[in-house]
A = this chain, B = another copy of it.
């Protein structure tokens, strides 16, 4: 099986297969006399492993660890779990960060008329920072009272 077939069989592009080999994520493929890379079922299995891990958002570095754990049949499941939990934590940090952005943006967009007039709280906030929000119950202390 040459690289194109291995690519189709694994869902990893030929480009990436060569790249993974180059950076040492996977071992160098066997070569034919004319230096074509050849792959066997086992290699394709590894490539699928890599693709699934990528689909789960693991970095190449983490996949290196996971591959080592996969091959080590005497690994402790706690070792695998540690990698997974660490990754989950990172993903959740990312989600929180992005959600904070959307929260702010939705709030702003919700207050933007979105019509032909130039007045726009979205660009206002980006330009001038968080607008003073009057959360004051008593208007005597609100921003409005400063006029």
- State whether the Cβ of A5 lies closer than 8 Å to any Cβ in chain B: no
Q: Interface stretch among A19-27, A96-104, A137-145?
A: A96-104
Q: What B residues does A74 contact at CB under 8 A?
A: 118
Whether B101 and A91, one on each chain, are in contact in the complex, defined by CB atoms closer than 8 angstroms, is yes
A53, A84, A125, A126: residue with the most chain B Cβ atoms closer than 10 Å: A126
The oligomer's copy count stands at 2
Q: How far is the CA of A55 from the CA of B105 in the complex (A)?
A: 11
- Which residues of A come within 8 Å of B, CB atoms? 45, 48-49, 52-53, 55-57, 66, 69-70, 72-78, 80-82, 84-85, 87-88, 91-92, 94-95, 98-99, 101-102, 104-106, 108-109, 112-120, 122-123, 125-127, 129
